[in-house]
Amino acid sequence: MIAVVGSVNRDIVVVVERHPRPGETVLGGDHLAVDGGKGANQAVAAARLGADVAFIGRVGGDAVGDELRSGLSAEGVDVSHLASDPDTPSGLALITVDQDGENAIVVSQGANANVGAADIETAAGVLETADVVLLQLEIPLEAVTAATARAGDSIVVLNPAPARALTPALLERVNVLVPNRHELAAFTGSTDPASAVDLPVPFVVVTMGGEGAAVVGEGKVVRVPSVPVVALDTTGAGDAFCGALATFLASGDDIYTAVDAAVGAGALATTATGARTAMPERAELRALLGW
């Protein structure tokens, strides 16, 4: 079982010819309103690949919150530990996607900002028995720290996005750190995957977009090439990667097999518009990888 501790948002996506410069207005196409949030997207990615998933987080006490809860439940995610804040709006992400499929995102945290140690204690039984605990940084660091402390013998996978300073004590409780190159630079000062060698984490998996990923651990750097696809929208590719990585680790696969699958899932996610809508099914992934 995978326990995901993280954010859940409503995403508003607009396709534009190019991203606006400061002070500039650009015209875009029709907007698309879909369910999102890094944590929720990763939970759905794992569920669609066949994992048993429980989600721990918060939504607002608004109609959007009800819809976000229903959306996760419809995907087969256990929402027993998804709390509701009566006087707080649900999280919102404003996303523009340019003609090359690159995105720019602004997130209003809403109820996600209220996820705390009390939520972690309520879900302690789930965290302590999970095969994998999957976390991101769109919720307060207090909750992330508490969840790693409650993870027991679980494999702890942390996607440090958006990047922020993390204490050595927190990193030492992480088994697999999954930054992109920009997030890696926040830790090491370099975008070179080899710079992760000295981080106090058994494995660092650096996602590199169309170049695939690199696994840093056991004293070596192993590059995993991407799978060629026609990319339409990169939004959610990292979430698909993390959800797949957690799924295959929870199934008992080694880190290298899990990263192979994750690279394929991330590539598939770029072939559709939106984040949650692009999370692939297991059959699609198997077909892409020839498994």
Identify the DSSP state of 123: T
Dist. CA 107–CA 117, nearest whole Å? 22
Q: Could you confirm whether 131 is annotated as catalytic? A: no
User: Which among 100, 239, 254, 260 is annotated as catalytic?
Assistant: 239
β-sheet with 91-97: strand ranges across: 32-36, 9-15, 91-97, 103-108
Residues in contact with 238: Cβ distance below 8 Å, sequence separation at least 6, in sequence order: 38, 159, 161, 180, 207, 266
Q: Based on the number of CB atoms within 10 Å of its own CB, is 273 exposed (0-12), middle (13-18) or buried (19 or more)?
A: middle
What sections of 175-254 are H helices per DSSP?
Answer: 181-188, 237-250
10 Å Cβ neighbour count for 232? 17
Dist. CA 37–CA 7, nearest whole Å? 5
Dist. CA 32–CA 156, nearest whole Å? 33
Dist. CA 111–CA 92, nearest whole Å? 10
The residues annotated with a catalytic role in the active site are: 239
